[in-house]
Amino acid sequence: MSVDEMNVAASQIKSQVQNEVVIELVNVNKWFGEFHVLKDINLSVYKGERIVICGPSGSGKSTLIRCINRLEEHQKGDILVNGVTLDSNLKNIDAIRGDVGMVFQSFNLFPHLTVLENCTLAPIWVKNTSKREAEETAMHYLTRVKIPEQAAKYPGQLSGGQQQRVAIARSLCMNPSIMLFDEPTSALDPEMISEVLDVMVGLAESGMTMIVVTHEMGFANKVADRIIFMDQGEIVEQNVPAEFFGNPKSERTKLFLSQILNH
Amino acid sequence: MANLDAADTTFRPKPNLPPPPNTVGAVGWMRKNLFSSVLNTLLTLGAMWLILSVAYTLFDWGVLKAVWVAENRRECLDRSPDGACWAGVIHWFNTFMYGRYPYAEQWRPNLGLVILILWMLPCWLPRVTGKIGIALSAVIIFPFLAGYLFAGGEKGLILQILVSAGIVTFITIWLHVLSCLLTGRSLPVHILGITGFTDKDDRLHKYPLIGAFGLALIVVLILQSGWEPPEVGTNLWGGLFLTLVISGVGITTALPSGVLLALGRRSRMPIIRVSCIAFIELFRSVPLITILFMAVTMMPLFLPETVTLNRLVQVIIAVCLFAAAYMAEIVRGGLQAIPKGQYEAAQSMGLNYWKMMALVVMPQALKLMIPNIVGNFIGLFKDTTLVSIIGLYDLLLMLKAVSQNPQWNGLYLEPFMFGTFVFFIFCFAMSTYSQHLERTLGSGQVRR
């Protein structure tokens, strides 16, 4: 992909969304020991934009979004979230984490707390919301992910799809402006994937800024404003879904798409 | 299917028949487990003979031929040479319980025990809120009240305040418990209602509560200033009472200090990590008896001569340090069983380190550790008998001392049998309670 094409793609994307950058990555580099996992990543995410990141395993896509709420530390470059620079300043990190929700591949619900308590824990202890108010918010979001009737159960009593929907509701209870999804459907049985994707589509339609690492290309095609393809720690190609699937520029992207779409 | 008529296609379940005789019930169980083969039958009979003969010998010695009332050991032997001399145990029972604690003051340890039981009791009552606070206050404030109750004597201003705080806390807890049980609302809610703060901002709510506590504290401080039970030196403390004091303090401090040490050992800050590792490894690598000797004989050498230390305090400090080091490793083991995803989920929601540990990680880790923690408590309880070697008259040394009394010279077996019984009761109770905790805390929380 040439620089010209990149710019064309970027301007197409910009025209679709509001022109306010909420996440900005400038020349981000990261190493795991000797292994160079992220190489000169530059990325701007606009408010309300839905981005899908795909790529082969080990390409650094999970690491990239985990850097955005600093579950991983980057060693070079700058990451700005809502204008706040991520560095070793703990206050900045806490502020950003309160505003950036994250959903994990393995749900990571707290098994010793009920579904409702999972949802109210952070609002009560981080935002000092009163218990009653936190429970109202939690029930609102549990209704939105269509499992209000499970509120009193423990996570271990729910199916995988239900657990992941609880995890989404739990993140939403903090009222975040950005949601990160790290392969949210990879650990699910096939018949449960759609119930989680439906919730995510609903969330996308409500205008939430979302970055989703996933292999669900149907979902990407349906909701993404932009698809980013990563390999070996670099962003190889990014484009709107129609162009990305219909007219991939690089050979690497074509190979990847042929591998995941042809079976 | 064509050749089957309608009667054959209708499914009729076969009636339930009783199982063959001698396969269920007591007879069935015995046939299966005790007499399934010739060898098994022989083993069963042999084991039964062994159990019955031991049980009979014990029963014959301990009950049938036992002497329950006698003035001294000679009288015991004269009456029944092959029987147990329980008269000696009965004669010395008070000493086994309290050591040389003056008889007239023994109500004080008893009262302390009753207060402790009443203090902790609300934790097992339904409909009572704030149980964690009650348990914490029992660990933090009760020791000062109990310590003064046991030791008595003059008290300085700080001790006055601590004792008063203990009394006020105890009264507050029971007012709160009664309020919860009778009206279903907590004491703070009532106080807010009376002072008219219910409708005001949540952040103002703490002021009337602090005010009420402070007022009660001042009243109690004035009332208790005249209360001064006579001093009972710690050299007079002994028996089961002393054993319970040492192990009780050791057990209650072991868990919090163990948690802090374990967190320190996993800390990213090198100085904290290294000092925690050094402490844990040092105290785990040295036998308890060595630490006790160090505490009693060596520590005074390092301190200025004007500082005189209480031997009991030295011993308790040594036991606490030892117990903390062991507990730290147990807690670390529990922490390692918590998946990384739990930490990440807590962090991604903005919980800081201490909130993450207190709300997410520790509750799960502690539940996994219950068997190990209680095992450690049981071990510590039994280990405190080592203090007898450095001359503290705990239960073990009291049991042993009987045989040196001229009147009861040579009476070893019966006091030790009694001691065995006492230790068994305490340790078995702890063990049973831990199994109960495992069952109740684990319910409904199947981990996937």
Residue bearing the bigger pLDDT, A120 or A207: A120
In a domain, B113, yes or no: yes
pLDDT reported for residue A9: 54
In a domain, B7, yes or no: no
Q: Is the CB of B348 less than 8 angstroms away from the CB of A101?
A: yes
Model ipTM over 0.85: yes
pLDDT reported for residue B125: 84
Quick one: tokens of A133?
């108010």
pLDDT in tens, B392-438: 888 998 898 888 888 888 888 899 999 999 999 999 999 999 888 88
CA distance A161 to chain B (A): 13
Taking alpha carbons only, the member of B250, B291, B309, B313 closest to residue B389 is: B291
* Residue entry with tokens 């160090």: B294
User: Domain ends where: B38, B64, B91?
Assistant: B91
Lowest mean pLDDT among A12-26, A190-204, B94-108, B418-432: A12-26
pLDDT at residue B445 tops 70:
no
| Distance of alpha carbon B436 from the chain centroid | 14
Distance CA B351, CA B346 (A): 6
Residues B223 and B334 in one domain: no
Residues B324 and B291 in one domain: yes
* Structural domain boundaries, residue B443: 95-101+239-448
Residue of B nearest to A130 (CA): B202
Residue of A nearest to B351 (CA): A126
pLDDT in tens, B292-345: 998 888 877 887 777 777 888 889 999 999 999 999 999 999 999 999 999 999
Residues B419 and B313 in one domain: yes
The beta-carbon neighbor of B349 closest among A90, A97, A111 is A97
Q: Is the CB of A126 less than 8 angstroms away from the CB of B341?
A: no
For residue A260, give the amino acid letter: I
Reported confidence tier of residue B448, pLDDT bands at 50, 70, 90: very low
In a domain, B10, yes or no: no
The beta-carbon neighbor of A122 closest among B351, B363, B445 is B351
Averaged pLDDT, A30-38: 92
Residues B83 and B110 in one domain: no
pTM confidence score = 0.82
Domain tally for chain B? 3
Reported confidence tier of residue B233, pLDDT bands at 50, 70, 90: confident
Q: What percent of chain B has pLDDT over 90?
A: 40
SS in 3 state form for chain B? CCCCCHHHHCCCCCCCCCCCCCCCHHHHHHHHHCCCCHHHHHHHHHHHHHHHHHHHHHHHHHHHCCECCCCCHHHHHHHCCCCCEHHHHHHHHHHHHHECCCHHHCHHHHHHHHHHHHHHHHHHCCCCCCHHHHHHHHHHCHHHHHHHHHHCCCCCHHHHHHHHHHHHHHHHHHHHHHHHHHHCCCHHHHHHHHHCCCCCCHHHCHHHHHHHHHHHHHHHHHHHCCCCCCCCCHHHECHHHHHHHHHHHHHHHHHHHHHHHHHHHCCCCHHHHHHHHHHHHHHHCCCHHHHHHHHHHHHHHHCCCCCCCCHHHHHHHHHHHHHHHHHHHHHHHHHHCCCHHHHHHHHHCCCCHHHHHHHHHHHHHHHHHHHHHHHHHHHHHHHHHHHHHHCCCEHHHHHHHHHHCHHHCCCCHHHHHHHHHHHHHHHHHHHHHHHHHHHHHHCCCCCC
pLDDT in tens, B177-187: 888 888 878 88
Residue of B nearest to A152 (CA): B444
* Residue entry with tokens 């700058």: A78
Residues B290 and B348 in one domain: yes
Residues B139 and B82 in one domain: no
In a domain, B11, yes or no: no
pLDDT reported for residue B3: 52
pLDDT reported for residue B362: 92
Quick one: tokens of B214?
């402070």
Q: Which residues of A touch B201 (CB under 8 A)?
A: none
Contact at 8 Å (CB) between A248 and A73? no
Reported confidence tier of residue B444, pLDDT bands at 50, 70, 90: very low
Residue of A nearest to B441 (CA): A112
Reported confidence tier of residue B382, pLDDT bands at 50, 70, 90: very high
Q: What percent of chain B has pLDDT over 70?
A: 96
Residues B249 and B173 in one domain: no
User: Domain ends where: B91, B118, B136?
Assistant: B91
Residue of A nearest to B446 (CA): A156
Reported confidence tier of residue B442, pLDDT bands at 50, 70, 90: low
Q: Which residues of B touch A112 (CB under 8 A)?
A: 363-364, 367, 445
Reported confidence tier of residue A32, pLDDT bands at 50, 70, 90: very high
The beta-carbon neighbor of B446 closest among A108, A126, A157 is A157
In a domain, B9, yes or no: no
B398 by Cβ neighbours in 10 Å (0-12 / 13-18 / 19+) ranks as buried
pLDDT in tens, B87-102: 889 988 999 999 889 9
Reported confidence tier of residue B275, pLDDT bands at 50, 70, 90: very high
Averaged pLDDT, B375-388: 92
Residues B387 and B272 in one domain: yes
Residues B119 and B227 in one domain: yes
Distance CA B446, CA B448 (A): 6
In a domain, B5, yes or no: no
pLDDT at residue A75 tops 70:
yes
The beta-carbon neighbor of B350 closest among A98, A130, A156 is A98
CA distance A122 to chain B (A): 6
Residues of A contacting chain B (CB within 8 angstroms): 69, 71, 90, 94, 97-98, 100-102, 104, 106, 108-112, 121-122, 125-126, 130, 154-157, 163, 167, 170-171, 174
The beta-carbon neighbor of A126 closest among B341, B351, B448 is B351
pLDDT at residue B4 tops 60:
no
The dihedral through the CA atoms of A85, A86, A92, A98 has a sign that is: positive
Residues B55 and B84 in one domain: yes
Q: Which residues of A touch B339 (CB under 8 A)?
A: 106, 108
Rg for chain A, CA atoms, rounded = 18
pLDDT reported for residue B198: 72
The beta-carbon neighbor of A154 closest among B202, B342, B444 is B444
Reported confidence tier of residue B373, pLDDT bands at 50, 70, 90: very high
Whole-number average pLDDT of chain B: 87
B206 by Cβ neighbours in 10 Å (0-12 / 13-18 / 19+) ranks as exposed
pLDDT reported for residue B420: 94
Taking alpha carbons only, the member of A109, A35, A44, A107 closest to residue A72 is: A35
Contact at 8 Å (CB) between B295 and B317? yes
- Number of A to B CB contacts under 8 A, please give it: 76
For residue B342, give the amino acid letter: Q
Residue of A nearest to B352 (CA): A94
Q: Which residues of A touch B350 (CB under 8 A)?
A: 94, 97-98, 122, 126, 174
Residues of B contacting chain A (CB within 8 angstroms): 202, 339, 341-342, 344-352, 355, 359-360, 363-364, 367, 444-448
Residue bearing the bigger pLDDT, A181 or A262: A181
Residues B220 and B110 in one domain: yes
Reported confidence tier of residue B19, pLDDT bands at 50, 70, 90: confident
Q: Is the CB of B348 less than 8 angstroms away from the CB of A69?
A: yes
Q: Is A86 helix (H, G, I), strand (E, B) or coil?
A: coil
pLDDT reported for residue B443: 52
Q: Which of A86, A108, A168 to mutate to test the interface with B (most CBs of B within 10 A)?
A: A108
Distance CA A139, CA A121 (A): 13
pLDDT reported for residue B129: 81
In a domain, B171, yes or no: yes
pLDDT in tens, A224-256: 999 999 999 999 999 999 999 988 888 999 999
pLDDT reported for residue B438: 82
The dihedral through the CA atoms of B93, B95, B99, B104 has a sign that is: positive
User: Domain ends where: B34, B60, B91?
Assistant: B91
Q: What are the beta bridge partners of residue B438?
A: none
Distance CA A106, CA A181 (A): 11
In a domain, B204, yes or no: yes
Q: Which residues of A touch B338 (CB under 8 A)?
A: none
Q: Strand ranges (DSSP E) for A113-213?
A: 178-182, 209-213
pLDDT reported for residue A227: 94
Residues B151 and B64 in one domain: no
Averaged pLDDT, A61-75: 92
